Structure 1
Amino acid sequence: MSSAPFTALREQLLDAASTFTDAPRPIADIMAGMVDDVDRALGEELEIFPVCHHSPASALAMARRLREKQPTVIYLEMCEDLAPLLNELRNCRLPVALQAFASELDGFPASAGPLSVVAPITESSAEYQAIAYALDTPGVELVAVDRSVDHVFQWSPQPSESDTPPTDSAGEEAGLHGDAVGVEIGDLRPRFNELEAYLLHHGKVRHWSEWWDQYVEQPLANADYDTYRQVMVMIGSLFRRLAPAEDNRPRIDEERERYMWTRIRRHLGASGADPARCLYVCGASHAASHVEQFGLAAAEQDYEISPRTATKWLYGLIPSSHSAIERQFGLAAGSVSIATATWNKAVKGSGVAPFRLKGQKGPKGGRGGSTRKRTTPAATPQSPVPDRLSGFLASPPTLDRLDEEELLGWCVEIVRLARRNGYLASTADAIAVFETSILLAGMRDRARPTPYDFQDAAITCIEKDTVPGRRDVRRLCEILLGGDRTGQVGYDSLPPLAQDVFDRLAPLGLDLHKRTVQRVLLDLDVNPELRPCSRLLWMLRYLLPADTVRPIMGAPKLGEQSPQESWDVYIGRDQRAIIELGYEGVTVEQVLEQRLRRSVWSSEATAATALAAVEDSIVYLGSRRITDELGARAVELLAAERTVDGAPEVLGRIRRLLAHYRATEPELPRWCASFVTTGYAHYCTLLPTSFGEEEAGVRQVAAMLGFLFTLENVALSLGCDRSQLELAVKQSTPQTPAKVALLWAAQSELGLLSRSQLRARCDELLGNPLVVPAFPQYLSGFVQALSPAPGLAAFVVEVMSEAFARLPDSVLLPWLPTLITTLREQAHEMVPVLIREAGRTFPGSVAALDAWVAPWSASTQTETAPGRPAAPAGPVAELLAGHPAACDAVAELLGHDGGWEQPGAAPGSAGPPEVAALLSRHPATGEALAELLTGP
């Protein structure tokens, strides 16, 4: 391919390749190909406007060209299904991002969801100039021709790896785009790492954004239109030709180019528009395309567009920020803010009137596209473009004179900001920053210090070795040069759910568009009309990230309402979370209901998670219908479980729910009664296996017993059989000490093991030196047993006291740390119960300690006469003596004549021997009666 305007440049580049390289053929092919790409793009019938994303030079050239050409159709490289959102930009404060969101996938792997695509738009971008011109100029049509967001994921199997993800999660703005895939018009960056490293090294810069600003942005800011187009296409061609072979992006770019040219030809054929009055805005690399479908003359090259999947996409606007754009697209920190500052300065200095949407929120500047009367220039054939590349490449860069006033202002302002943020900066530091900026610019072959030179000088002269506050000097420079501007979506462009939230929170008097924290104080007793607002805040707390609405005082509980609440509200800062919530439903209640259903019907759902959903539905929704539905699902999940890992949580939640229903309902709901009966049979079935398996922990087995014992009355009243529990306990054969103690406690609770027998077994353990090292594990089992059998608290205190009293120091001291760690790890929530019981058992003063006798030792102090059964002693004897009439009545019912010891007689020497024998044969009954009437 040869064209007269570029013949001299092509020959010059080929000669240079032959002169300066040992293998001229590959280099010559690349250089000649670059010239051919420029010639091809500029000779196309449809005018191609190459751009780079967030480039002030591109935006200036676009504003100039739009006012000069005044096209009637603009083809824009943008996802075609995002185009309907563009008119909503006038209700927003830039930067914002167009978003497509899908949570219910059809045609994509379920594990890939939710899918999200964002296309950020800033005021200093060429695409915004084209959008503002097209939307506010009558008779102009804007056509988005890039592939749909559905094709973005179709063509990118791993979207999280094909685009640069956010690299820093710190800071306030880190999550504005989240993990969404970013698409932008005009991504210009070398895909050949060695080339980028070479350019940065010889350009004496640190990162790509600084190189681009020095060698492309500044020279092209005031260049004529032909020079701008040729340089941009040449750069796009260079980066494209040097892309590594293993890179997957060239293949995707080619598919996009086929897609876009096919859409353009179809639109021209359907609308009959004159190509001479149209403009095609695309990235510079796409302008250097090699696909067969390139150009209007390639109409015979048909390209079949693949259909979209059945995934339902939701569209909207979300706030964006300079830092979010930088993180997502791998730009240097502060580069977008610096580009915005460069744009504002260029607009003032060049006299270019940029386009701005009518009603656009934000700082003033620029005229709207329809503020001047639009003329219709006659369409003329496109004449050959003269060669501007040769002159641009051969001439040295234009050296701007030093703008001392601007640099002095920067230096004074950065010292002021540094002092406000804790730095010991002074006028001397301002002078040092000024001189160092000029020195650095000279070392980098610049006549005028750039913002990057100033930033480096400020860090060198002010920051020293410490950062006294939360902002370093680099961040202060970004604030000085324009700051991290954050966009905002207007009320009219919010989804219905977000608008509903704003309307329902209106009685609180908040400005929900403010980005600062707002404190809300609610006295619900004085102002009961604010209870709906409180309920909504709690639902938002449940659904949104933790910091969007944060309670300071108050908590939602079953059957309770805090009389006073205090909230910190950050809704204005976290608009994205509210907006994406609107993609899930029309109201907050609907979204909450959907999420609760989703949680209990997921593949990982358990009975515990279902009970948690039931509790949340009662607290937040108050809907009996959804609660019964979730409760029925909890019964199904419990019956299907084959492990007992969730037993502790199940026990705690069902206890709270039963207490709530007993206090608020005349009878238990059907699902709740079914859950108790199902759980009773289920845990009885699993109990023997859980006692024997090592995988089942002590806490889990104790929770099962807690369910069976504490809910036994309810279960029996609903038709369960207690013999099932007794049989399960008898079949249990534990092997570990903790489970053995737990089984003994269960047997004691069922009456299969008397307290005296339990005490004897513990005495036997303490007397066996081989078992003493494992005794803390037995104690752990007894402590865990307090959940199903709280009446054992006194016995556990007795066992621990006996251990401390009987064990020698040589055994006790090494054993004590094991006891403490065992209780802390396995039964920490039961330790307060033991402490309270010990407080009731032991004397409260030192003086009473000498005369104190342990209650459990009184039963062993009574001597038994030979040949006579043991008479009741201790608390049993005191109980009988205190209620003689009751004792006589019981004896009469048993067929015996009652007789009492005479005062002064030896214990056990008087009274009917039959009564003494009866009490001796059934000591557990007497002890239980004594505990019931007088306490342990």
Structure 2
Amino acid sequence: MSTRQESTSFAALRGQLQEAAAAFAGGPDALEGILLGLVDDVDRAVREPLEIFPVCHHSPASATAMARRLREKQPKVVYLELCEDMAPLLTELRNCRLPVAVQAFAGDVDGFPVEWAPLSVVAPITEASAEYQAIAYALDTPGVELVLVDRSSDHVFQWDSRGERAREAAPEGTAPAEGTDPGAGLHGEAVGVEIGDLRPRFAELEEHLLRHGKVRHWSEWWHQYVEVPLGDGTADHDTYRQVMFLIGSLFRRLAPGDGGRVRVDEDRERYMWTRMREHLSATGADPADCLYVCGAFHAASRVPEFGVDGADTFSISPRTATTWQYGLIPSSNGAIEAQFGLAAGSVSIASTEWAKSLRRTGVRPYRLAGQAGAKKPATKKTAATKSLSGRTGTAVGPPSPSPSPSPSSTGDHLSGFLHRAPVLDGLDEAELLGWSVDIVRAARRGGYLASTADAIAVFETSILLAGMRDRAKPTPYDFQDAAVTCIEKDRVPGRRDVRRLVEIMMGGDRIGQVGYESLPPLARDVHDRLEPLGLKLQQRGVQRALLDMVSRPELEACSDVLWMLRRLMPHGAARPIMGERRLGERSIQESWDLAIGTHQRALIELGYEGVSIEQVLEQRLRRDAYGPRATTATVLAAVEDATLYLRSRRLADELGTHALKVLATERSVDGAPEVLRRVRALLAYYRTSEPVLPAWIESFVKTGYAHYCTLLPTAFRDEDATVGQVAAMLGFLFSMESLALSLGCDRAQLELAVAQSHPEEPSKTALLWAAQVQLGTLSRAELRARCDELLDNPLVVPAYPRYLSGFVQALEPVPGLADVVVEAVSNAFGRLPDAVLLPWLPLLITTLRSGAAELAPLLVREAGRIFPGRLAPLDAWVPPWRAPAAPLPASRAEAAVHVPRGAALLPEYPAACEAVAGLLGCVGEWAPSEAPAPSGAVLLAAHPAACDAVADLLGCDGGWPALRTSASDGAALTARHPHTAKTLEALLSGR
């Protein structure tokens, strides 16, 4: 037999709805089915033996009704719609200042897509919520069991098959974007568990309700048409339940047919009823002694598993292998509004209404014993309350429960509520007048030119707006609109507009705090180690810490902690004002701006990753270094951080060895500038602090030398490789050359790489010329000649700034070319006509700024050294590159006349000759002094290796033959190397 046939409690209401459907639709149709279905849902929920208590998310009316019902019924088991794996955390709420959020966090996923990580689920809890009333009652009342029955955090993502972790419903028109408010980002990207979400999912229905209700957004509609009628104290418990059942059924039946969303909702209901039946079967509890607290949307459920007598057909899937961490994080009114799409200020207004409702109804709320930050409501003692303990907190002993009707025997309270005319709440002029005065005072502090006349205007406009919207009493939303209209003129003079000032005045964005006892071990360890600073780290806001490590050496440990927090936590949590930490440098005094209390959530989430910040930092460094997108620069940065913050030679050597492997696999030069900078810094540090270089960095230099030599020709031709990246490669090769050669590298590899490079871009061409000068294959005179040719060619002049950009970039690998670059720029300004120079000048400036801004100071210093410092000597000044060669001093000229020729000089100074030959690596025996002086040809033949070395130093052409002639064949040797013989003879004779 159907429920409609069984129950006669709502027969009158069904008849009225049938008549209304026939009148509106002209006969039975879908409208009648919907209306009668609403009554069936209400009847089914009311008749359930296990009492269902429907609530709305952060609703003062729900919280008041919950506190009243708990004191009347005194249930022994409370089933709560909350993730079942969060139960152990609820006892820690007493150490916190609400609002806070219960969080489940997973950094490493196993069974979910990797791109989803990290996973985070939060359930925010405020004092003005029915959920908190149920939690406080269950935890502080002996013999009461609290059972969480909603899906686990793991199932939240198991059922999220499409990866839609954001809430599907669009935020209301006035809801702030995430992060616009200081507390709006406290939940980050976490998935919010909607406890008692009650909002139309049918867009047209919501638009219809807002338009006919003469309100701007859903929060205002709910406050006006649900909160006020149910929270004024005139609606009893049964009326409250039936109204909430009706609203939940209406929104459920008019929801769009979104298969994914509907399936998740129904699976949640099956899950919860399955868990409740399991608990009842395991404990033998009487359903009459139980209370099921859930959202009104889920209370009017039609799944087969509904009720204690429902079908046991739902199988709960096992959890994945993902390891979940649990903790409490601070929340705020703004964070709740932003995450759940509520209007800005609605949660703050709800808190204000909650306090007013307690004063008006005299209901004593439940609070956890020792709850931090809890305020006792200023309730007036009446004759009915004088016999009680007088406290507004949790009662010492449970009062004797008053008899309450069984849920199955309750009648139709819904018809009387719907037919009853709304109780008009009279205008509270004192309250509205106080609001008007307070907002003007706040506006004047915010920079507005508000006066008493504005307070009067706000007062009268609030009443006018309420009358236009068919309200006898202005709501906080009416008052907010009136304040914006009367005070905010054309601009906002301060940081906050009037709408925000009203929100603050109504209660503000209250931000919660997690107590020290409820923090994870890592967070408590941080607080303990920073205790010598003498600061209140739990306090929100910025605090200044001064560290003098000379007078107080124990503060060095605090400094280490602060530098690691700066590395791990968001910007602003620990910001150094004075002092720095670099490789090989330690500050003796430091100054910090600390906002650890403001960023408490980030500190708590660090505790999910390890038990100490050193462990977390090491894990993150390894994760960065061994990640799939790690580059050589990334690994070297991890090596530097391991040395700076952890002082771990073991970890630095391990990561440095891994950098070798990453470098060998790279085929691009994108990270060359960063690699060069970090390798230079690490080399300088190890050379000054270690007796020998670590083996990994020697291998890195050797491998990098060969690696960049191989990539150099390709990088010069590659259009994607910038001139700065190629310059960084050359900088690595030239600056590390001496170390690389000492480790066994061959310089010929670099010479071949430069010789095989044929760039087409002007800037890279100039860079190649600079490299050739450094290698000695191109002289400075030839480089100057090429620059002059560029200026003489009118087809090349427009591209000359790009050549200059290449020359400036060449100062990285070849800093000795600074004078040549200054000369090239000066020649351009001196030789080009204004018609060419003026259009060309902006291109030069933008090119240098975009491509070589960091090298410009070196160029400026060189120009300052060359050019005169004052204007007066400028007219007579001659550039150094145009000055004639200085004549040979007379003393040197006279001395050169008496210097004997090379053939006679070498035998006269055999020791000097042998010393030079030894320095050059030559092997040979000098002829006895009594022997006749050999000629130049014979001398050269006797020391062929010395001849080769001197010829190479002097830049002479020709090479020594592979198969050398006999030492006595001087004529053949001189004939083979005429230039070498003449140059050596001229050098030794002083000519």
Q: Quick check: 1:65 aligned with 2:77?
A: no
Please list, as runs of the form range in 1=range in 2, the aligned pairs for 1:828-847 lying within 5 A after superposition.
828-847=853-872
Q: Tell me whether 56-65 or 166-175 shows the greater mean CA deviation.
A: 166-175
Please list, as runs of the form range in 1=range in 2, the aligned pairs for 1:157-168 lying within 5 A after superposition.
157=161, 158-163=163-168, 167-168=177-178
1:431–1:247 CA distance, 2 compared to 1 (3 A):
farther
Please list, as runs of the form range in 1=range in 2, the aligned pairs for 1:446-485 lying within 5 A after superposition.
446-485=471-510
Tell me the CA shift for residue 613 of structure 1. Answer: 1.3
Please list, as runs of the form range in 1=range in 2, the aligned pairs for 1:24-39 lying within 5 A after superposition.
24-39=28-43
Contact 1:163 1:182 in 2 (8 A): no
Tell me the CA shift for residue 642 of structure 1. Answer: 0.3
Cα separation, 2, equivalents of 1:420 and 1:129: 37
Show the counterpart of 2:543. Answer: 518
Cα separation, 1, equivalents of 2:815 and 2:698: 24
SS in structure 2 opposite 1:355?
Answer: coil
Runs of 5+ unmatched residues, structure 2: 377-390, 910-935, 938-949, 958-978, 981-991
Q: Tell me whether 138-147 or 770-779 shows the greater mean CA deviation.
A: 770-779
SS in structure 2 opposite 1:297?
Answer: coil
Q: Quick check: 1:500 aligned with 2:521?
A: no
Show the counterpart of 1:866. Answer: none
- Amino acid across the alignment from 2:500: R
Show the counterpart of 2:115. Answer: 111
Q: Quick check: 1:187 aligned with 2:177?
A: no
Show the counterpart of 2:797. Answer: 772
Show the counterpart of 2:206. Answer: 196
SS in structure 1 opposite 2:178?
Answer: coil
Tell me the CA shift for residue 779 of structure 1. Answer: 2.1
Q: Quick check: 1:601 aligned with 2:601?
A: no
Cα separation, 1, equivalents of 2:800 and 2:674: 28
Show the counterpart of 2:106. Answer: 102
- Amino acid across the alignment from 1:626: L
Please list, as runs of the form range in 1=range in 2, the aligned pairs for 1:808-847 lying within 5 A after superposition.
808-847=833-872
Q: Quick check: 1:253 aligned with 2:265?
A: yes
Residues 836-857 of structure 1: CA deviation (Å, up to 9, x unaligned): 2222223334444444433333
1:719–1:66 CA distance, 2 compared to 1 (3 A):
same
Cα separation, 1, equivalents of 2:778 and 2:641: 42
Please list, as runs of the form range in 1=range in 2, the aligned pairs for 1:268-279 lying within 5 A after superposition.
268-279=280-291
Which of 358, 365, 370 is the matching residue for 1:359?
A: 370
Tell me the CA shift for residue 375 of structure 1. Answer: 4.8
1:896–1:175 CA distance, 2 compared to 1 (3 A):
farther
Q: TM-score if structure 1 supplies the norm length?
A: 0.92
Residues 443-475 of structure 1: CA deviation (Å, up to 9, x unaligned): 222222221122122222222232221111111
Q: Tell me whether 259-268 or 524-533 shows the greater mean CA deviation.
A: 524-533
Contact 1:317 1:494 in 2 (8 A): yes
Cα separation, 2, equivalents of 1:252 and 1:306: 14
Cα separation, 1, equivalents of 2:406 and 2:180: 54
Q: Quick check: 1:428 aligned with 2:440?
A: no
- Amino acid across the alignment from 1:355: Y
Residues 484-535 of structure 1: CA deviation (Å, up to 9, x unaligned): 1111100000011110111111100110121121111222233222111112
1:882–1:601 CA distance, 2 compared to 1 (3 A):
farther
Please list, as runs of the form range in 1=range in 2, the aligned pairs for 1:1-40 lying within 5 A after superposition.
1-2=3-4, 3-22=7-26, 24-40=28-44
Show the counterpart of 1:660. Answer: 685
1:705–1:4 CA distance, 2 compared to 1 (3 A):
same
Q: Quick check: 1:651 aligned with 2:676?
A: yes
Q: Quick check: 1:701 aligned with 2:726?
A: yes
1:879–1:481 CA distance, 2 compared to 1 (3 A):
farther
1:148–1:880 CA distance, 2 compared to 1 (3 A):
farther
Q: Quick check: 1:79 aligned with 2:107?
A: no
Tell me the CA shift for residue 367 of structure 1. Answer: 3.9
Q: Quick check: 1:565 aligned with 2:569?
A: no
Tell me the CA shift for residue 892 of structure 1. Answer: 7.2
Cα separation, 2, equivalents of 1:725 and 1:194: 73
Residues 48-84 of structure 1: CA deviation (Å, up to 9, x unaligned): 1111111111111111111111110011111000111
Show the counterpart of 1:135. Answer: 139
Show the counterpart of 1:864. Answer: none
Q: Quick check: 1:229 aligned with 2:244?
A: no
- Amino acid across the alignment from 1:265: R
Q: Tell me whether 519-528 or 569-578 shows the greater mean CA deviation.
A: 519-528
Cα separation, 2, equivalents of 1:225 and 1:315: 35
Tell me the CA shift for residue 882 of structure 1. Answer: 9.6
Q: Quick check: 1:205 aligned with 2:215?
A: yes
Tell me the CA shift for residue 655 of structure 1. Answer: 0.8
Contact 2:101 2:329 in 1 (8 A): yes
Tell me the CA shift for residue 373 of structure 1. Answer: 3.8
Which of 757, 779, 782 is the matching residue for 2:807?
A: 782
Contact 1:159 1:181 in 2 (8 A): no
Contact 1:261 1:293 in 2 (8 A): yes
1:832–1:893 CA distance, 2 compared to 1 (3 A):
farther
Which of 117, 121, 124 is the matching residue for 2:125?
A: 121
Cα separation, 2, equivalents of 1:760 and 1:236: 88
Contact 1:277 1:379 in 2 (8 A): no
Show the counterpart of 1:338. Answer: 349
- Amino acid across the alignment from 2:159: W
Tell me the CA shift for residue 246 of structure 1. Answer: 2.7
Aligned residues: 895
Contact 1:134 1:369 in 2 (8 A): no
Tell me the CA shift for residue 922 of structure 1. Answer: 4.9
Show the counterpart of 1:797. Answer: 822
Cα separation, 1, equivalents of 2:485 and 2:786: 77
1:322–1:918 CA distance, 2 compared to 1 (3 A):
closer
Contact 1:414 1:476 in 2 (8 A): yes
1:253–1:850 CA distance, 2 compared to 1 (3 A):
closer
1:874–1:293 CA distance, 2 compared to 1 (3 A):
same
Q: Quick check: 1:304 aligned with 2:315?
A: yes
Tell me the CA shift for residue 762 of structure 1. Answer: 2.5
Show the counterpart of 1:243. Answer: 255
1:378–1:54 CA distance, 2 compared to 1 (3 A):
closer
Residues 604-626 of structure 1: CA deviation (Å, up to 9, x unaligned): 11111111111111111111011
SS in structure 2 opposite 1:528?
Answer: coil
Contact 1:632 1:671 in 2 (8 A): yes
- Amino acid across the alignment from 2:211: H
- Amino acid across the alignment from 2:194: E
SS in structure 1 opposite 2:105?
Answer: strand
Please list, as runs of the form range in 1=range in 2, the aligned pairs for 1:833-872 lying within 5 A after superposition.
833-858=858-883, 861=884
Cα separation, 1, equivalents of 2:165 and 2:528: 36
Tell me the CA shift for residue 152 of structure 1. Answer: 0.8
Tell me the CA shift for residue 370 of structure 1. Answer: 4.7
- Amino acid across the alignment from 1:781: G
Show the counterpart of 1:217. Answer: 227
1:839–1:896 CA distance, 2 compared to 1 (3 A):
farther
Cα separation, 2, equivalents of 1:879 and 1:89: 96
Show the counterpart of 2:711. Answer: 686
1:383–1:735 CA distance, 2 compared to 1 (3 A):
closer
Cα separation, 2, equivalents of 1:852 and 1:878: 23
Contact 2:166 2:191 in 1 (8 A): no
Q: Tell me whether 414-423 or 709-718 shows the greater mean CA deviation.
A: 414-423
Tell me the CA shift for residue 537 of structure 1. Answer: 1.0
Cα separation, 1, equivalents of 2:254 and 2:864: 81
Cα separation, 2, equivalents of 1:374 and 1:713: 89
Residues 264-293 of structure 1: CA deviation (Å, up to 9, x unaligned): 000000001111111111111111101000
SS in structure 1 opposite 2:149?
Answer: strand
Contact 1:132 1:368 in 2 (8 A): no
Cα separation, 2, equivalents of 1:463 and 1:890: 100
Q: Quick check: 1:718 aligned with 2:735?
A: no
Contact 1:100 1:314 in 2 (8 A): yes
Show the counterpart of 1:910. Answer: none
SS in structure 2 opposite 1:391?
Answer: helix
